[in-house]
Amino acid sequence: MGYRDVYASWQQNPDAFWMEQSKSISWDREPSKALFDEEAPLYEWFSDGMVNTCYNAVDRHVENGRGAQDAIIHDSPITGSKSKITYADLKDRVSKLAGALRAKGIEKGDRVIIYMPMVPEALIAMLAVTRIGAIHSVVFGGFAANELAVRIDDAQPKAIIAGSCGIEPGRVVDYKPLLDGAIDLAKSKPEFCVILQREQKEAELIEGRDFEWSAFQENADPADCLPVEGNHPAYILYTSGTTGAPKGVVRPTGGHLVALNWTMKNIYNVEPGEVFWAASDVGWVVGHSYICYAPLIHGNTTIVFEGKPVGTPDAGTFWRVISEYNVKAFFTAPTALRAIKRDDPKGEMIKDYDISQLRALYLAGERADPDTIEWAQRVMQVPVYDHWWQTETGYTIAGNPVGIEALPVKIGSPTVAMPGYDVQILDEGGNPVSSGELGAIAVKLPLPPGTLPTLWNAEERFRKSYLTTFPGYYETGDAGMIDEDGYLYIMARTDDVINVAGHRLSTGGMEEVLAGHPDVAECAVIGVTDQLKGQLPMGFVCLNKGCDRPHTEVVAECVKLVREKIGPVAAFKLAVVIDRLPKTRSGKILRGTMVKIADNEDFKMPATIDDPAILDEIRTAVRTLGYGGA
């Protein structure tokens, strides 16, 4: 069967399609049906089945003869260490930690925050939490204490599992002061913390609250897997929305297992036993789905890579890992390739490695620009497949279903909608537009298994953010078009979300931080085009009347404030003081026009602009930062 047949078979009978896929998962009680639509437009999948995530990702492979196969390879050029964990070892380590957590009172439904660098213990912690039916929420290490505190208050974890430090090129990131600071800031206090001590920087433990990772589990009885309902949350992952308050995307257990397992063969074209590598971070959705869960659920070997595409030690590091571990399918963000291309434009470094066993490169997380795709194809000599998805879905909405049939690649398009997704382009009134026309990208409800059923503690926000603009559809927040062959093109976000080095960030959140500066009366943050990171945030601040402090001082404080409040990952370094912001007569800030000026693109003068002269001031301001055609 080709792609079109598979897609049609899903369209004709979605329930039968997903029930068939669900057979690849080991259920403790099989679900009676796939879709539960009684609460439409809220949908759930496999709700009356009983199943355990960890059992499917670990134990069943040991029972089926994969005990001696590597489950996790840790490769850390930044610390100079390498290690491997077989499925049998993984089962022992996970069940021991799970037993210790349970003995300390963690029960089904309790939340556990995980704040760890790229070490295998991060995956062990995630699996241990799901093993006992608790719900993890992994927080990316590049976020500051304040962001961690916001997540602690929303998830209200009973426990936090953290590393003592992370390692960035040139500096050790001390996690413990960030963790302690976040717990101080948060209203909700965890009962205890488990700290993995790393030799690069050991943390001081707080007596009675903090437990050292090994000592914590020393005498624990291993825990068995606890079956949970198919709709039980496996995890919560916070992602940026329009405001500073992150959205807690809920991942349901049953659909997550079924859908991720489906993607491994059909999209990534790997067989169980083969090595799959996603170079991302466990703090992002790519890390959840494709460093941890999908490869393990499918019986692959996954790689936990602690390093950067360049500088650890050089632009050949990805090629070394691919060659050394016999990677068959590789997934990363376009920004990582742009970094390699910048350091090694001719791809000389790849010549030192044999990557001939690699079948394909998969790109996602941001727009894949044609230059990067063509460069990667030329240098790596493999097909390059762009695919489009979001934290909310957890896996591909549109991609090239290579395991079913490799469709012709059209550069600039992530290819076609996957079974499960009825993707449509809508105009402002919610009517489908013709092929080739731009509009909002929406997915006809219900979304497929594994996608978010709601937001944690925020059902109203879920409805408002995703279900209200286009009744009967899920609003993706992206704009684009579909061509006459059904190929999708993702052009832009329709909200205040920007994408910096494949990291999703909220300009609204940065504005909230800047507005908190005592001298700032008003501000705007926009995303400007950047050759390496795709986009960079740029801030414009207007000072309070009477404030005569040097602008450079205020700007430096603003930059520091965003780093402190959101974290280094915001990469907020461009800011400028201006007299006034360009606005419409009704007071709406014209951010879109500001972006065009900063990117030095043509634009139409907004008809509703209050005072067109301000745009000249904006142009002068962005030029001082080296943008706008400077």
* Residue among 20, 168, 371, 512 that touches ligand COA (CB under 6 A): 168
Contact partner at residue 157 from ligand AMP, ligand COA, none, CB < 5 to 8 Å by partner kind: none
Contacts of 304 (CB under 8 A, 6+ apart): 72, 73, 74, 75, 118, 119, 120, 122, 123, 282, 291
Residue 239 is a binding residue for ligand AMP (CB under 6 A): yes
Cβ–Cβ under 8 Å, residues 614 and 581: yes
Q: Site map for ligand AMP, 386-405, x if CB under 6 A? A: xxxxxx--------------
User: Is 450 among the residues that bind ligand AMP (CB under 6 A)?
Assistant: no
**Pair 175, 141: CB distance under 8 Å:** yes
Select the residue interacting with ligand AMP from 151, 320, 504, 517 (CB under 6 A): 504
- Is residue 233 near ligand AMP by the rule CB under 6 A? no
Answer whether 224's CB lies under 8 Å from 427's CB. no
Q: x-or-dash pattern for ligand COA, window 172-191, by CB under 6 A?
A: -x------------------
Residue identified by tokens 């499960």 is 420
Spatial neighbors of 142 by CB under 8 A, at least 6 apart, are 283, 503, 567, 568, 569
The nearest distance, CB 280 to ligand COA, in angstroms, is 4
280 interface partner picked from ligand AMP, ligand COA, none, CB below 5 to 8 A per type: ligand COA
Residue 24, burial from CB neighbour count under 10 angstroms (0-12, 13-18, 19+):
middle
Per CB under 6 A, the segment of 145-153, 189-197, 358-366, 457-465 that binds ligand AMP is 358-366
Q: What share of the chain is helix, strand, coil (3-state, %, to 5)?
A: 35, 25, 40
Size of the site for ligand COA (CB under 6 A): 24
Please report, to the nearest 10 degrees, the dihedral formed by the alpha carbons of residues 32, 44, 138, 499 taken in order: 140
Q: Which segment (85-93, 450-458, 522-530, 563-571) binds ligand COA by CB under 6 A?
A: 563-571
Contact flag: residue 369 with ligand AMP (CB under 6 A): no
How far apart (Å, rounded) are the C-alpha atoms in residues 501 and 213? Answer: 32
Closest to 450 (Cα-Cα) out of 140, 118, 51, 6? 51
Closer CB to ligand COA, 171 or 189, in the complex = 171
Q: Are 604 and 610 spatial neighbours (Cβ–Cβ below 8 Å)?
A: no
d(CA 130, CA 228): 9
- Considering only 299, 414, 453, 628, the residue that binds ligand AMP (CB under 6 A) is 414
Residue list 277-316, contact with ligand COA (CB under 6 A)? 280-281, 284, 286, 308-310
CB of 81 to ligand AMP, least distance (A): 29
Q: Which of 364, 404, 501, 570 binds ligand AMP (CB under 6 A)?
A: 364
- Whose tokens are 């001719």? That residue is 346
Chain residues that interact with ligand COA, rule: CB under 6 A: 141-142, 166, 168, 173, 280-281, 284, 286, 308-310, 333, 335-336, 339, 364-365, 501-503, 568-569, 571
Chain residues that interact with ligand AMP, rule: CB under 6 A: 239, 285, 364-368, 386-391, 414, 477-478, 490, 493, 499, 504
